[in-house]
Amino acid sequence: MQSGISVSRELQDAFTAFNADTSSFCLPVTITAESLTPLKPLPFNGTSSDPESFFSSLSQLSSVLEPKTPIYLLLRRPTFTTTTLISLTYIPSNAPVRPKMLFASTRSTVTRELGTEKFGATVFATEEEEILSPDAWRERDGENNPARREELMGEKERELEAVRRAEAEARNGTPQRDIGIGGTFGPGSGSGMRVSMPVDEAAKEALQGLQDGSLVQLTIDIPTEKIILADNQSGVEAGAVATHISSTSPRYSFYHYPGSDVVVFVYTCPTGSSIKERMLHASSRRNAIAVAEGEGLKIEKKIEASGPDEITADRLQEEVHPPQNTGAARGFARPRRPGR
C-alpha cells in the first residue's frame, strides 16, 4: 500500500546537505501538505567520528518526539570503520488511525526516493524508549549477531521472544510447547498450537447473529482467561472497519463483507499491547476461529495485521475479490505440501 506522498524538493536539498555534513546527527522528516518535508537537523553531542557519540546524542531526539505524533528520523551512526545512515520510522501505538496509516504507507517512499543504497539499516519503533535508550540500540546490534543475542536478552526480552515464538508456532503449526505464560497449550484440531479457553455466551450470540455488513469483535479477558465479546456493530462499510478495531489491544474480528457471502477473520495484535495479551491471543487464534465455526460461520478469508491501520478497504476487497492472475489472496495461506 502506497500513500501517493512524495519527497519534496526541500527535503531533497536538506538530505543532500545532511549527507555531506558529518557533524549532523539527525534529520527529522514529517509529512506536510501531502509531501515529505524536513525539520531542523540535530548535531552530534560530541565528536561525530566517535562511535560512542551516537549513544550520547540519542537524548537530543526527545526534542522532536511527541507521544501521539509519527515522524521519520534519518540518523547518522559512526563506527570504527565507516558511517551508516539509518532510516527510522516512529509511529506511536496510541497515535490517531489516519496519521498511523499515512506514515506507515509512506515509510518505504522515504528511502526509495532519497536513495535506498544510501541507507545501511531501517528501524521501526512504536515507543520513545526504543529510540532514546542506548540499550535498545545495543539490543538491536545483538539481534544481528546470533552468537550474542541470547546473552544480551533480559527477562522482558526473553518473554518477548516467547511471544514471537508462540505467534510463529500458531501460524506454522508446531504443536505442544511450554511458552511459560498462562493457559493450557496443546495441539488443536488440524495443525497449529491452540489454547483452550471458555467462551462468553454473549460472544457466541453475536457470532450467531452476524449479518451482511456486521462486525463482531472478540478478545480475551486476561484476568479470567476467557474469550469475551469486545464489540458488535452493524452496517459497517469496508473503509470504516479499521476505525472500530482497537489500536492498543489484540482483537479477533469477524466481518461479513457487504454484498457477499464472505466472512473475513481479522487478527490484530498491536506491538504496544502487553506481553501476556500478545501471548494468549496469538496462541488462541485458531480456537477463536473454531468458536465462530461452531456457531455456524464459514470463515473463508483470514488476515493478520499488527494494527487496525493495515485493514483498509482496498485490502478487504482484495481478499474478497482478488485481482485476476495475481495468485492466491493474502492471509494465512501456506504452500502446499510436496506431492499434493
Q: Do domains 6-152 and 194-320 have the same CATH topology?
A: yes
Domain ranges of the chain: 6-152, 194-320
Q: 167 vs 185, 219, 280, CA distance in Å?
A: 13, 16, 10
pLDDT for 159 equals 53
Residue in this structure with the C-alpha cell 466472512, named with its chain if needed: 263
Beta-carbon contacts of residue 85 (< 8 Å; ≥ 6 apart): 19, 74, 75, 76, 77, 118, 119, 120
Q: In whole angstroms, give the CA distance from residue 276 to residue 257.
A: 31
Across 263-277, b (16+ Cβ under 10 Å) vs e yields bbbbbbbbebbeebb
Longest CA–CA span in the chain (Å) reads 66
What is the fold of 194-320?
Severin (3.40.20)
Q: List, as one string, the DSSP characters of 198-261.
A: -B-HHHHHHHHT--TT-EEEEEEETTTTEEEEEEEESS--GGGHHHHS-SSS-EEEEEE-TTSS
Assigned CATH class of 6-152:
alpha beta
pLDDT for 94 equals 84
Collapse the DSSP code of 111 into the 3-class scheme (helix H, G, I; strand E, B; otherwise coil) and give the result: helix
- DSSP character for 322? P
The torsion angles phi and psi of 117, rounded to 5 degrees, stand at -65, -15
pLDDT for 324 equals 64
Signed CA dihedral, 192, 197, 200, 201: sign only:
positive
Residues of the chain with pLDDT under 50: 1, 146-155, 173-195, 326-327, 329-340
Residue 149: count other Cβ atoms within 10 Å of its Cβ: 15
pLDDT for 266 equals 95
Query: Cβ(295)–Cβ(207) under 8 Å?
Result: yes
| pTM attached to this predicted model | 0.46
Q: H/E element holding 265?
A: strand 263-268
Query: Cβ(194)–Cβ(283) under 8 Å?
Result: yes
